[in-house]
Structure formats: structure tokens, C-alpha cells
Amino acid sequence: MGRVAVVGVAVAVAATACAVAAVVVGRRVRSRRKWRRVVGVLAELEEGCETTVGRLRQVVDAMAVEMHAGLASEGGSKLKMLLTFVDGLPNGCEKGTYYALDLGGTNFRVLRVQLGGQRSSILEKEVERIPIPQHLTSSTSENLFDFIASSLKEFVEREGGGSENSLNSRRELGFTFSFPVKQTSVSSGILIKWTKGFCIQDMVGRDVTECLEQAMTRKGLNMQVAALVNDTVGTLALGHYHDPDTVAAVIIGTGTNACYLERTDAIIKCQGLLTTSGGMVVNMEWGNFWSSHLPRTSYDIDLDADSPNPNDQGFEKMISGMYLGDIVRRVILRMSQEADIFGTVPSRLSMPFILSSYLIAAMLEDDSPELKEVARIFKDILEIPDVPLKVRKLVVKVCDVVIRRAARLAAAGIVGILKKIGRDGSGGITGGRSRSDVKMRRTVVAIEGGLYTSYTMFREYLHEALNEILGEDIAPYVILKDTQDGSGIGAALLAVAHSSNSVDSVQLL
Ligand code: BGC
């Protein structure tokens, strides 16, 4: 080979090497640029979800102000502040066997509780969870209630071995119905609207108790609703049964809400309301709380716009188990669209509600070094195999930001209630007094709902925020108590208190 040829080959090889290198470098530059975009999406999310203690305190104030407005006039606030007609809470003397039905989410529960007649003596309880077939949540009220009444009948029959007697004797029932209801008495009320994805149009505006009692009659069940309660109210009742310092209850599950004990003279929209105790439990329906201080992102705005109830339940959509997974899904979808972290956008990522809060909590709690659970969820649920570790880490971070914001906002809501009733150490909503002038009392808040009870991280974030907002002097006086099955058992307790042979209930305030 001549010299010229050798030089030619060398030049060609060098040119090829350069071209290959250019392609490799180009790819790296592009992939770095994409990664920067992904990290940018995360940074933007973190900024949008920021919940500094200063911002949380603004939410606290807004909550207390809205509570006042909701109590002042009908429609005065997005907080409905519904009267419950529960003016006394269980005092421990309740005795006998009572039933409760608890309807509020994807499952309903039937309970039988045997009460021993002394504080905290629940001798026996039997709880059966029954999944509600999806189609019934958007069917007719008759279909839904027939299904519930049939399940209740089977439960009662099992107790009495199906004997005539078990079905003939008239029983009183506590009915927990966890949707916004305008109560007309302690045992009746009109459904205002559905939440949590339920949509049975013929039910709105109708008396909930009547619907259940008619279905029970159709099924040959001799039962009567002695108390119709929201799940928060049931939880407060059980909380108070165990610990008389309980003044409020909060649910953080599929949906979210709170109730608390209010003085009747503070319920201005109901002038002249008289109760023997001088107080009444108010169902806040805080899921519908709104304030410009809430840290809202474009994902929240889109989720709301795509929901069946836009401009409604704004606080709930940032906090509760029904929505958190879908906020995370929307963030990952945007990352995938803007920087194709998974190649072409996987179709399952576009499916609303494919990621439940259960799955995002599982990803957040995955402590294996290679994030095996995250990889499994991506493969099995989203059908995205082989997600690189750095992407998995990023996804965990997204879950963390969304769950942390939810927990911290819930904490601010709780302090808002404490502020309204003068238990946050600040001297109440009008302030004035310095913290050192305020004498603090032990204050218990009963809590129920899967997000709080099942997820350690959520619980820890909530407690941390509560301590930050209240400060170390006041925080020790405020105790959050996990009140398992409170919504149902509490309804049974209230059924006792309001049944024909009721014993007196304690003074509220
Ligand atoms: C409902 C409330 C209920 C809460 C928790 C909300 O969607 O409006 O009535 O208490 O969920 O179950």
C-alpha cells in the first residue's frame, strides 16, 4: 500500500472515530439536557408545594376565619359548618348490643357492638367490611340501598342463626353516612351533594334515612335508624367515650373532613338554638375549604378541572387518599412528555387514578437500596419495565413532596379548629393576649382514616407540622388519638344515646 493510501485510511478512521464520538457526545448532551428538564419539573413541583411554617399559619388563620363565616350565615363560607343535632356525647354508661352501618368510601361496614355499661368497656365487636360494587356508586339510590340492606340482613341473620326472632325484634341502628348531609334531626337528613366519586343523581336532595329504612322494609328487616351521623361525628363520639378531653375529630382517608364541639351561642346562623348541654357538634365539611394561601400547582388545577366536581372539595383534592396518587401520576406524565424518560409516553400513565395512594405510600416507604417496590409497581401497574434507578429515586421524591404537603396542610387545618375554640394557645381568633397569658388545657383530637393510620410517613409529617405550628410550649397539650373503627362504633354509641331507652349524655363543654 502506498503512503498516500495509508494516510487516506488513517484519515477515514479518524473521521469515523470523530463522527462516532460526536454522536456519543451529542447523545450525552441531549440526555443531560433532558435530565435537567426532568429535575426542573421536580424543582418546580417542590416550589409549588412549599408549606413553610409561615404559610401554614396563614392557612390556620384562614380556616378559623372561614369557620366563623360558615357559622354566621348559611352560604357565608365554602365551609358548610353543618349542624348535627348531636348535643351530647357518650358518657360510658351505654349498655346493650347495637348495630351500625358505615357507608363512606369504597367499602361499607356492618358492625355489631356489645357495650358493657362502663366507660371504655366495649365487650365485643364484630365488623364486616363489604366492598361496594363499582357500578352501584353511579346507579340509583334504590339499587345502592337494596344492596346495603341485603348485606345487613345477612349479617343480622348470622347472629340469630336465621331464627324468626332475630329478624322480628325491632332493633335500633346507628348509620354513618360520610357525605355532606343537611340534618333535619339527629336521625334524619338530606343529602346535599356527593363527593369521593359517588354520583347517584336521584339521591341528592332526598332524606338518607328514609332511603335506608325503605330498603330495610323491602328486605324484611325490622330496624330503625336512631342516629344518622357523619364519619367524623362517629369518630368524635368514640374518642369522647374513651377520653372526655376529646373536642374534635378528623378523618383522612379516601376523603377528608373534621367536626368539633361548638357552643350554641357561637352558631349565629341558628339564633335561639337551645340544647341541654349548651353545645352542639358541628360537621365542618372541611374538604370544601378554600384559601388563596393554599399552595396550588398546575397539577391540582388540572385534576380539579378533569374531576366530576370542579371548583368543589379543593382542600380534599390536595389532602385525601382518593387524589394523591393521581397528582403523582400527573407529575410523572409531564416528566415523561417533556423529557421522554420512558421513551414514548407509556399509555397507562395517561389513565386517571391508575396510581392509588396505597401505591404511592408503598413507593415512598420502599427502603431497599435498589427501590425494588418502585420497580415492581412501574412494571406491574404502569407496564413500564426497566426503569433506571435514578428515575425511580426521582419518582420517590415526587411521592414525598405530594404526601408531605397533604400531611402538613391537614395539620394546619387541625390547628385552625383549635384556634377557633381557643385551644391553640394564641388566645383565639381575635388574638390580643400573649401566649404566656393563656392557660392551656389538655386537648384531644380523635383521628381516623387510612392515610393517617396506615402510613408512617404521613403521620410523621403531620405531627412534625403540628409541633412547628404550635411551638414546643403548646404542642404537648395537643394529643392526636388514633380512633380505630371510630366512625362505625361511634355511630352505634350515638344510637344508644338517642334510642328510645337512652341514658343521659354528658355535658359537652
Ligand atoms: C365527605 C365528608 C366525609 C369525608 C371523610 C368527604 O368527601 O364530604 O362528609 O366526612 O369525606 O369520609
Give the count of alpha carbons within 13 A of 482, CB side only. 12
Which residue matches cell numbers 351521623? Answer: 229
Point out the ligand 1 atom lying closest to the alpha carbon of residue 179: 9
Q: Which range has the worst mean pLDDT, 305-314, 403-412, 430-439?
A: 430-439
List the one residue out of 120, 234, 251 whose CA is nearest residue 173: 234
Say yes or no to pLDDT of 120 above 80. Answer: no
Phi, psi torsion values for 482, nearest 5 degrees:
-65, 120
**What's the CA gap between 79 and 81, in Å, rounded?**
6
Q: Which tens digit of pLDDT belongs to each residue from 376-393?
A: 999 999 999 999 999 999
Contacts for 318 with CB less than 8 Å, ≥ 6 apart: 294, 296, 300, 405, 406, 409
**CA–CA gap between residue 219 and residue 31 (Å, rounded):** 65
Q: Which helix (H) or strand (E) segment is 116 a member of? A: strand 107-116
Query: Nearest residue CA, atom 12 of ligand 1?
Result: 255
Question: Cell for 506?
Answer: 354528658
Residues 6+ apart with CB under 8 A from 263: 278, 279, 509
Cell numbers describing residue 226? 336512631
pLDDT at position 508: 41
pLDDT given for residue 10 in this prediction: 64
Per-residue model confidence (pLDDT) at position 429: 55
| Cβ atoms of 493 and 88 closer than 8 Å | no
What would the pLDDT profile of 45-58 be if each residue is shown by its tens digit?
A: 999 999 999 999 99
pLDDT surpassing 90 at residue 343: no
User: 183 in ligand 1 pocket by Cβ < 6 Å?
Assistant: no
| Tally of CB atoms within 10 A around 157 | 14
pLDDT in tens, 11-26: 666 666 656 665 556 6
Q: Which atom of ligand 1 is nearest to the CA of 288?
A: 8
Q: What's the pTM?
A: 0.91
CB 143 within 8 A of CB 136: yes
496: pLDDT strictly greater than 60: yes
Check: CB of residue 403 under 8 Å from CB of residue 364. yes
More confident residue, 6 or 283: 283
Confirm or reject: Cβ of 315 under 6 Å from ligand 1.
no
Ligand 1: residue whose CA is nearest its atom 11 = 255
**From the CA of 194, how far away is ligand 1's center (Å)?**
9
| Atom 2 of ligand 1, nearest CA residue | 179
pLDDT digits (tens, 9 = 90+) for 307-335: 999 999 999 999 999 999 999 999 999 99
pLDDT of residue 438: 64
| Pocket-testing residue among 179, 252, 315, ligand 1, by greatest number of atoms within 8 A of Cβ | 179
Cα–Cα distance measured from residue 240 to residue 483, given in angstroms and rounded to the nearest whole number? 10
CA-wise closest residue to 332 among 399, 279, 383, 273: 399
* C-alpha 288 – ligand 1 centre gap (Å): 10
For ligand 1, what atom is nearest to the CA of residue 105? 12
**Is the predicted pLDDT of residue 96 greater than 70, yes or no?**
yes
Q: What is the mean pLDDT of residues 171-181?
A: 95
CB atoms within 10 A of CB 461: 21
Q: Is the CB of 288 under 6 A from ligand 1?
A: no
CA-to-CA distance for 100 and 165, rounded, in angstroms? 19
Is the confidence at residue 116, as pLDDT, over 90?
no
Q: Sorting pLDDT into bands at 50, 70 and 90, what band is 509?
A: very low
